[in-house]
Each structure stands twice: as structure tokens, then as C-alpha cells.
Chains A and B, each alone.
Chain A
Amino acid sequence: MHELALSQGIVEVVCTRAAADGARRVRRVCIAIGALSPVEPNAIEFCFDAASRGTLAEGAVLEIRRPPGRARCRSCDRVVTIAGYDRPCPLCGEGRWVLVGGDELQVLELEVE
């Protein structure tokens, strides 16, 4: 989806936090893009470059974690890993489940100096 806007959102979160901490520069930014979120990590990385230019985050290493899809099965009630929206519960084959993780878009942590 809208990767430049998202990258600007990342830079905004990062710079606000870094500035509040009195940082001079952000060295590393760690974000989570859930495996089931509609966001393309390569495009985020590409856009992050442009979005961070001229900010505290310019030149920072972007580390992207991909938490897998996690869902609670409506049949067996267990929390399972789901590889895609069209996949059934790997334990019991039920197609109905409720997503409990893996669609997040978060800034997790920063390393600043």
C-alpha cells in the first residue's frame, strides 16, 4: 500500500522519540511489518531513504522484522501460525479463525547517539 506515507509516519515517530531523548543521530531503526499486513517491506525500505533525508534518521540502518500471522482457531480454539488469509488452521483444518497478530505496523526500537 502507501509506502511513502508509511515511511514518513515511521520517520515522524522515530524523530519525535529521538528528539525527546536529546539524540543527535539515529543509528538504527527497528520496525515490525506483520507478514499479513498489506505492506511491502522492500518499498518501505526504499521510501525510508527518501523520507529520512534531512532528518535525525538520515543514514540510519533500517531493520525490518516480519512477525508471522497468528490466529485463534474458531474450531479448536488454539492459537496457530497462519501463512495467509486463505489458509485454514494448520492443526484442525478449520477455515474460520480470528487474527491475533501478524498484521502489525510498528516502530519497535531505536538506537541513537
Chain B
Amino acid sequence: MCGVCGCGGAGAGLEDDRTGGPARHGHGHEQEHGHEHEHEHVGADGTVLRHRHDLHHHAHHHPSDHDHPHPHAHPHPGHRPDRDEDGTTRLLRVEQDILAKNNAGAAANRELFAAAGVFAVNLMSSPGAGKTTLLVRTLTDLKGRFPAAVIEGDQQTSVDADRIRATGTPALQVNTGTGCHLDALMVTRAVGRLGLAAESLLFIENVGNLVCPAGFDLGETRRVVVLSTTEGEDKPLKYPNMFAVADLLVINKTDLLPHLTFDVGRLVDYARRIRPDLEVIQVSATTGDGLGHWYQWLETGLAAARRHRETDCR
């Protein structure tokens, strides 16, 4: 991930797709950033207008529907208020969703999962909360009960996919390079490579990050956020978008509670302030405590996906 603006690059590498590794994205943070002039206005409606002027294009525009007073009296060398004076500029209405491409991909994935009766679970957390440990344990305990597969998202390495495959479950690693989340098209491609068994459980382990994955619909059936007891109770308030989109909160590492001053009740209270309907399950992926509830949640979800498939096929 980019350390300057927190963004990452496009271009994920699927495992075995080693034709040059993650794509470069030409993300040049300019050292100089030498703008001649930059300023900002905040309109009454909260609209923030930023203007930048350099010596080359010195156009100073305000939108026609935004008639706010213009009190900044500073010198603009060479400033021409040339708005539309020559009649060559025109306004184009667009009103298009910036995430339209991702959302279309997510809709296609969702349709694919529904038609196959697949219960697709998107697991999100900060790095180290225990997603892979939970998956390894789950796939070991539930082995033979139903078909399962895993898509592993990480910036680098296939370590997690290797850990999953050791349980005998098919897994595919998606390396996002500098990208800090999976997107719907990466999932589409991964599913194409991995194959999709009918009426199966598909886990998608997202890149460890409590911010970016929340913004990208993958077409999953359910979103699960894993938070471990060492991370602090305040995370729902600090990362509200993640909790706002989650269906289930798994509180992991409960075995460590005796050593911590972590207040589980407070965490749940904060999380439900963001998402009142949020389901909560407490587990320890290492001792196995509480995993029965998690398995039940998975089986209920899978049963629903199968039922939907049957009713849709008639």
C-alpha cells in the first residue's frame, strides 16, 4: 500500500500467473508538487471547492449552479475570469457511479453463487486477527461435511493458500501487489480458475485491512468481520464503514481474555451502534472454544443457499 495517500495499485496476480508479478501502476507521487496556488472554499451546502492554478492553465471556474460569494481577495497573476466567455465550454451531466465496474462484477458473481447454491463468505479483518487460523481449523473440523473452497487474498506470498491446501481443501491465492483489498473482478477470475462446486461453501479471505475491503462488494452472500481481543474495543467506532457492511462479527482469541483488559460487552455495544442487527460469535480459533456457534452459522447459511437454488430452479 502506498504510504503517502494510503492507496494501492490495480492489477492483481493470480497464483501461477507469474508473467511478471503484480502490475505496476505508475503511481508517481511527485516530489515537487509545485502548484503556484491552491485554495479551497466551503459552500453553505457543505460543498468543498478546491481550485488550483498553475502558470499554464489558469482557468478559474465555478459551477453555474453554485453561486456562493467569492470573498477571497488574493492576487491571481494572469487571472482571467474566462468562464464561458468564448462559448467553447459546455457542461456534461454524468451521474455515474465510480464503482460501477466493480458493482457490475459483484452482481454477476452474486448471480453465479445463487445459481450454484454456493454460500460465499467474505472474511475481513486487520492483519493477524486470525482469519487463516480460523479457516484452517474450520476446514479441518468440518472436513467431509460439504464441499468447500478458499480464495486467499494477500498482497504477497502464497503462504495462506498453502496453509489451507494442507487441510485438503482447494485454495487459490490472489496476490493484490500493492492493492489493499480484493475486488469483484479478482474474485470472478479466481472462481474461474478454482471452479465452483454446486452447493458448496466458498470462503474469501480478504486482504488484512479494516478500511478498503469495506468499499468493495465482491458479490459474496455474507460479510464477516473478524476482530481479535488484542485489537481494542474501540475499533467499530474507528472503522465504522467495515462494521456498517458486516453481517457477522467474530470475536477471536477469546483464550487471551484472562491476560487482557478487553471488555467484550463494550465492543459489542460499539459495533451495534454502527450496525444494530449485527450478529456476534465469540471464538478461540486455537483452543476451539465457541466454534460450534460459528459452524452452526455456516451450516444455516449453506442450507439457505441450497434452498434458494432449489426454489429458483423450479
Chain A: residues with CB nearer than 8 A to chain B? 1-10, 13-14, 17-18, 21, 23, 27-28, 30-31, 35-41, 43, 45-47, 49-50, 59, 61-68, 84-86, 95-96, 99, 104-113
Residues of A contacting B: mostly:
mixed
- Mark B76-93 against chain A: 1 for CB-CB distance below 8 A, else 0: 000000000000111111
Contact assessment for B5 and A17 in the assembled complex, using a CB-CB cutoff below 8 Å: no
Considering the complex, give the chain A residue whose CB is closest to the CB of B183. Answer: A5
**A111 and B240 form a contact (CB under 8 A):** no
Residues A9 and B52 in contact, CB atoms below 8 Å apart: no
A10 to B309 Cα, complex, angstroms = 37
Extra inter-chain contacts (4) besides given A30-B63, A38-B214, CB under 8 Å: A4-B10, A17-B96, A27-B59, A109-B91
A85 vs B93: C-alpha distance when bound (angstroms):
30
- Chain B interface extent, by class: 35 or more
Q: Is B312 interfacial (CB 8 A cutoff)?
A: no
Residue pair B91, A86 in contact (C-beta under 8 Å): no
Inside 8 A of B56's CB, which chain A residues have their CB?
A: 59
Residues of A close to B47: CB separation below 8 A: 63-66
Check A47–B7 contact: CB distance below 8 A: yes
Which of B54, B88, B98, B243 interacts with A6 by CB under 8 Å? B98
Q: In the complex where A37-B215, A50-B28, A63-B50 touch, is A109 in contact with B61 (Cβ < 8 A)?
A: no
Task: Tell me which residues across on chain A come within 8 A of B9, comparing CB atoms.
Answer: 4-5
B273 to chain A, nearest CB (A): 4
CB of B51 within 8 Å of the partner chain: yes
